[in-house]
Structure 1
């Protein structure tokens, strides 16, 4: 199963990654990105590419 790897220390809660994800995997809660629907991840990497802070470092496939 694919899922994004989050490094939330630098997250500014902008939501760009949430909007970029075509499968609604991510959400912003408490001002930072969280994985809301891990099972929906297709490993496309759009969130990695769009995060301006580099908080989503890679997509891993378990």
Structure 2
């Protein structure tokens, strides 16, 4: 199953990645991005491209 790799240390909680994800995989919780619905990820990479802080580094398959 694909899913984004999150590096939340630099996350500013802007929500751009959440808005970019067409599948609703991400959400902002506690001021940082978290996986909300990991199973819905289709590995499109939109979140990786849109994160202004580079907190989503890649999409990996388990």
- Identify the TM-score tier after normalising by the shorter chain: over 0.9
User: Any runs of at least 4 consecutive aligned residues in structure 1 with deviations exceeding 2 A, and if so which?
Assistant: none
Name the structure 2 match of 1:31.
31
**Over residues 9-49 of structure 1, what are the superposed CA-to-partner deviations in whole Å (9 max), with x where a residue is unaligned?**
00000000000000000000000000000000000000000
Alignment: residue pair count: 62
Name the structure 1 match of 2:8.
8
TM-score with structure 2 setting the length: 0.99
TM-score with structure 1 setting the length: 0.99
Q: Which runs of 5+ in 2 are unaligned?
A: none
Q: Which runs of 5+ in 1 are unaligned?
A: none
CA distance in 2, matches of 1:59, 1:17: 13
When the two chains are superposed, the root-mean-square deviation of aligned CA atoms in Å is: 0.3
